[in-house]
Structures are given as C-alpha cells and as structure tokens.
Structure 1
Amino acid sequence: MLRNKEFRSFILLFGLLTIVFTIIGWKITEAAGILVLISAVVFGVVFFVFTQKRYESIARISDQIDLVLHNEERLFMEELQEGELSILQSEITKMTQRIREQNDALKREKAHLADSLADVAHQLRTPLTSANLTLSLLENTTDQNERKVLIRETEELLLRMDWLLTSLLKISRLDAGVVMFNNETIVLSTLLENTLRPLAIPMELRNIRIRIEIPEAVRIIGDSGWLAEALQNILKNCMESLDEGGQIDLVCSDNPLFTELAIHDSGPGFRQADLPHLFERFYRGEKDKATGYGIGLALCKMIVTQQNGTITAKNHPQGGALFTLRFPK
C-alpha cells in the first residue's frame, strides 16, 4: 500500500494538516488541541484499516487475473458488497468468461484446422498416387492407343486435383468471411439455364432427362455466380447417383415469405446413416457410386446460408434424393 505514490502523498498532506490544526487548537485551548490530535489519529487509523482492506481485495482480484492469464481452468472470486470494487469484480468476471470462451473456440478451430489439413492431404494423395502410377505406365508403354488412354486419364486426374484445390480455396475464403456477395435481383429460370449449360453434354451422354417447372416471373435476391456454383454442386451430386436414363426434376414454388426450389432425382436416395452428415466437409458416406471428395455439398450449404437462404436434403417419399432450397423475400 505504501508503494503507492498517491497514498504516500496523502499521508504526508494529512500529517501536515494534523500538525497545523493541532497547533491552532492548542493555541485556542489545550483541550481543543488534544481533541484535534485524537480525532486526527482515530480518523487516520480508520482510514488506514479501510484502505488496507480495499488493497487486499484488489490484490486478490489481481491474483485471480494472473491465474486466468496462466490458463487456470477454475476461477473463484469472493462476493464483494455493492460498490466500485463489486462493479470491477463483475466486469472482470465477464471478461474472464469471454476470454475462456474465446480460448475454447480457438482450441476447436485449431483442432478443426489440423483435421482439415489431414483431410486435404489424404484427398490429394489419392489422385497424386494414381497420376504417378499412370505416368509410370505411360513411360513403359509403346502402344499409341494405350498411351492416349493413359494421357487422358492423367489429364482427368489433374483436372480433379485442380477442382479440389479450387473448391478448398473457395471454402477457406467463405470460412474467413472475405467473400462479398452481390445482392442482385436474379430471374430464377435464367439462373438455372446458366447452371445447366456446362452440364448439358455429360447429361446427354448418360441420357439424363431434366424436367423444369419454374414460372418466368419468379425472382430471388443473391449472387448469381455463387448460387450457380451451389446449384451445380447439387446437380452433380444427383448425377452421381443416377443410372443411365435417369431424371432430375427442378420445381419452384413461391409465396410472400420465400421462394422454394426443389431438386429431385430418380436415384436410390440417401442411406439413413448418411442423412445427418450430408453437408459435413469431407463426408462421402458409403455409396458405391461416390466419386467426389465430400466438399461439394459443404460448399453449397456455405454459399446458400451466407446469403440468408436455407438448404435441406432428405429422401423423397416416391424415391430418390430431394434437395430443398429456400430464398427469403
């Protein structure tokens, strides 16, 4: 307590004032001087004891803060009476709670980052291994037709790795919150036409039919480029599950609250065990036809939800998978 410069200055000033008023009182009467001196001593002792207790409370709070800074899991603070220290204690308790929550969040993010890096390494290792094997076969093959086939396979592997890295970059940008979405009015039928155009040839080769029921007047608010990316990922997922000659239905309904787009395929639908995990990153399930990396639907959900929309997936009552997207007015 005496290390406080202000407190030492106060003691010095209080002592000088006590001496001055004691002398003045003594000159008036001896009893007045003694009364002034006794009053000053009593007031000084009471003030010293009271201040000492306040400093002890502050010291205990300081010790608890030091424990927080050293990652102490449990924090105990005694209850103080109403006053400045009680307010200070309440604010420190709130601060420590926020620090603990942020620390827990950072630990979870660190663990998630480590898991994500391991998943990325695993996802890249498979096509890289295949590419290395294909190149080895290409080196030892003299037949021109077989070499063309191997070169085409290598190109496909490189395209898959490029798509994977591009998708991971998009996910990381969305995670970091650096993507600025455009709020533009989009004609939904035009958006679907632009989305389906790159998929037309693969669908035609597999004889997959598309049925669209979307009124021309329906419009939504969002970023057309990112929403086209999300819809393509859904359609690719539907195509993976379809046999040749399958069908995909795109049906729109509109009401004063939201616009709903339902995407239904004629495939086998989802396994019950997969339904809770469909939008989890790197989750691929146990489908025999699964050839993706488990990030398409995760990316799709991030795009839709960050534009205030919702997306769900379930099995259609008549069979097949059903994706439902809702865009608020």
Structure 2
Amino acid sequence: MLRSKEVRRFAAVFGVVSLVFVVIAFCIAPLAGLLALAFAAAVGVLFWRFTAARYARLAELAEEIDRLLHEEDRLFVADAEEGELAVLQSQLAKMTLRLREQNDALKREKVYLADSLADIAHQLRTPLTSVNLVFTLLKDEPDPARRRELLREGTALLAQMDWLLTTLLKISRLDAGVIALQCEPVPLAALVDTAAEPLRIPLELHTIALDVQIPPTAAWQVDRLWLAEALRNILKNCMEHTPDGGCVTVKCDDNPLFTALTIHDSGPGFDEAELPHLFDRFYRGKGSGTGYGIGLALAQSIITRQGGTITAKNAPEGGAVFVVQFEK
C-alpha cells in the first residue's frame, strides 16, 4: 500500500498536521495534548484500515482481470457494497460477459468458415475432376467432331464453377453486410417478370406454363435487382421439379398488414424430412439432380436481409409451395 505515491503523500501530510496539533495541544495543557494524540492515532488507524481494505479489494479485481486475460472458463466476481468499487466491479462483469460472447461468436464464425471452405472445396472437386478428364481426352482425341463436343463439355463445366463461385461470393457479401441495398417501391408483376425472363426458354422447351396472377397495385419496398434474383432462384427450383407439361403458378395476397407472393408448382412436392433443411447451404434433396444446393440459400439471404420472410411447404393438392412475405 505504501508503494502508492498518493498514500505516502497523504500519510506525510497527516503526520505533519497531527504533530503540529499535538504540540500545540501540549502547550495548552497536558490533558489536551493526550487527547489530541489519541484522536490523531485513532484517525490514523481508521484511515489505514480503510485504505488497506480498498487496496485489498482492488487487488481482487486485478486478479479477476488477470484471470480474464488468461481466458479462464469461469470468472468469479464477488459481491460488493455500493460505491465506486461496486460500480467498477459491475462494469468489469459487463465487460467480461461481452468479451465472452464475442469470443464465442468468433469461435462459431471460425468453425463456420472452416465448414464453408470444406464445402466449397467439396463442391468444386467434382467439376474440376471432370474438367481435367475432359482436357485429358481432348489432348489425345483426333476426331474434330469429338474434340468440339469435349470442348463444349469443358466450357459448360467451367461455367458451372464460375456460377458456383459467383453465388458463394454473393452469399458471403450478404452475410457480411457489405452490400448496400437500394430499397424502392417495386410492382410485384414487374418484379416476377424480370425474375422469369432468363427462364422463358427452358420453360418453353419443357412446355411448362407460368401462370402469374398479381394485381397491378401490389408492390414491395425492396431492392429490385436482388429480389429478382431471389425470385429467379425460387422459380428455377420449381421449374426443375415440375414435369413436362406442368405449371408453375404465382399468386399474390395483398392486405393492409402484408403482401405475400405464393409460388406453387405441379411437381411431386418435398419429402417431409427435407422441409427443415431446404434453405441450408449446400443441402441437396433427393430430386436435386446436379444442383449445388445454394440457390434457395441465396434466395433466403436476399429476402431476410431486406426484412422479408420465406417459407416452404407442400400443398394439400400436391406440389411444392414457396411463400415470400413482406410486412407493410
């Protein structure tokens, strides 16, 4: 305690002042001097015990901080009475809790990143192996027609990898919150038309009808381009699970509370065991074919990032149903 400069200074001043008063008191009367000496001694003892107790409590807090810095699993913070030390202890407890939460979040993000990298490596391994095989065959293939066919296969595989990496980058940017979304009133009919435009030819080739039933007044306050991409992924999923000659229906429920878009296909619907995992990244259901399992994950990221919700279920009459909803 005496290592503290403030304590040494106060003790010196107190000693000098007490000595002066005791001397003056003895000059007045011996009894007054004894009383002054006793009073000075009592005050000195009380000050010493009070200061020692405060420094002992500060030492405990310092020990707790040291345990925190050494990342002990459990940090003990004892109860304290009201006062500056109690306030300091309370702030220390809050800081400890916040640091624990941040540390746990960082650990979860580290595990998530490792899992994501493993998933990406796994997803890229198959097309990379196929590309390597295609170009190995291409090197030794003398037939020009066969060489052109192999080139088309290689180009298609490279396009798949480019789409995969681009989509994963979009999801990562959405998760990181680095994308500035430009929200504006967007008519739903125009939004669905924009989303379906790249799918017109595949829909026509498979004779799948797209029935859009949206009132012209229905609109969402969203980012047009990003929401169009989300709806495109949902429509693409419905198209891929609808048999030739089937239909994909898009309806709108517009009321004072919310505006919801329902997309219903005439396919076989979902397996009940798949429903909880449909929007999980890299999840591929039984009928996913050659998909990567990230289209619906991207759609969910885009929609929830803008304050909306997306759900999936089976229709009673059959087929899959997606519901995208934004509150007003």
In structure 2, C-alpha distance between the alignment counterparts of 1:170 and 1:91, rounded to whole Å = 40
Aligned residue for 1:87? 87
Counterpart amino acid of residue 228 in structure 1: A
Aligned residue for 1:282? 282
Question: What secondary structure, in the 3-state scheme, does the structure 1 residue paired with 2:10 have?
Answer: helix
Structure 2: give runs of 5+ residues left out of the alignment.
Answer: none
In structure 2, C-alpha distance between the alignment counterparts of 1:112 and 1:50, rounded to whole Å = 52
In structure 1, C-alpha distance between the alignment counterparts of 2:300 and 2:186, rounded to whole Å = 19
In structure 1, C-alpha distance between the alignment counterparts of 2:30 and 2:280, rounded to whole Å = 89
Counterpart amino acid of residue 295 in structure 2: G
Q: Deviations over 1:260-305 (max 9, x none)?
A: 10001111111111110111111113x1443211111111111101
Once the two structures are TM-superposed, the CA of residue 85 in structure 1 deviates from its matched residue by: 1.6
Question: What secondary structure, in the 3-state scheme, does the structure 2 residue paired with 1:249 have?
Answer: strand
Once the two structures are TM-superposed, the CA of residue 223 in structure 1 deviates from its matched residue by: 0.2
In structure 1, C-alpha distance between the alignment counterparts of 2:150 and 2:203, rounded to whole Å = 24
Counterpart amino acid of residue 317 in structure 1: P
Counterpart amino acid of residue 310 in structure 1: T
Q: Deviations over 1:137-162 (max 9, x none)?
A: 22222222222221111111111111
Q: TM-score, normalising length from structure 2?
A: 0.97
Q: Deviations over 1:146-186 (max 9, x none)?
A: 22221111111111111111111111111111111111110
Over aligned residues, Cα RMSD in angstroms? 1.2
In structure 2, C-alpha distance between the alignment counterparts of 1:173 and 1:65, rounded to whole Å = 37
Aligned residue for 1:262? 262
Q: Deviations over 1:51-106 (max 9, x none)?
A: 11111111111111111111101121221222222222122111111111111111
Question: What secondary structure, in the 3-state scheme, does the structure 2 residue paired with 1:189 have?
Answer: helix
Question: What secondary structure, in the 3-state scheme, does the structure 2 residue paired with 1:290 have?
Answer: coil
Aligned residue for 2:312? 313
> In the TM superposition, what are the counterparts of 1:289-304 in structure 2 within 5 Å?
289-304=288-303
In structure 2, C-alpha distance between the alignment counterparts of 1:289 and 1:54, rounded to whole Å = 68
Question: What secondary structure, in the 3-state scheme, does the structure 1 residue paired with 2:135 have?
Answer: helix
The answer (yes or no) to whether the contact 2:187–2:217 under 8 Å persists in 1 is yes
Aligned pair count?
328
The answer (yes or no) to whether the contact 2:241–2:287 under 8 Å persists in 1 is no
Once the two structures are TM-superposed, the CA of residue 47 in structure 1 deviates from its matched residue by: 1.1
> In the TM superposition, what are the counterparts of 1:121-160 in structure 2 within 5 Å?
121-160=121-160
Aligned residue for 1:32? 32
In structure 2, C-alpha distance between the alignment counterparts of 1:312 and 1:277, rounded to whole Å = 11
The answer (yes or no) to whether the contact 2:277–2:283 under 8 Å persists in 1 is yes
Q: TM-score, normalising length from structure 1?
A: 0.97
Question: What secondary structure, in the 3-state scheme, does the structure 2 residue paired with 1:319 have?
Answer: coil
In structure 1, C-alpha distance between the alignment counterparts of 2:6 and 2:278, rounded to whole Å = 65
Question: What secondary structure, in the 3-state scheme, does the structure 2 residue paired with 1:312 have?
Answer: strand
In structure 1, C-alpha distance between the alignment counterparts of 2:39 and 2:242, rounded to whole Å = 97
Moved more, 274-283 or 74-83: 74-83
Aligned residue for 1:16? 16
Aligned residue for 1:241? 241
Q: Answer yes or no: is 1:324 the counterpart of 2:323.
A: yes
Once the two structures are TM-superposed, the CA of residue 320 in structure 1 deviates from its matched residue by: 1.1
After superposition, the Cα gap between the structure-2 partners of 1:138 and 1:236, relative to the gap in structure 1 and judged at 3 Å, is same
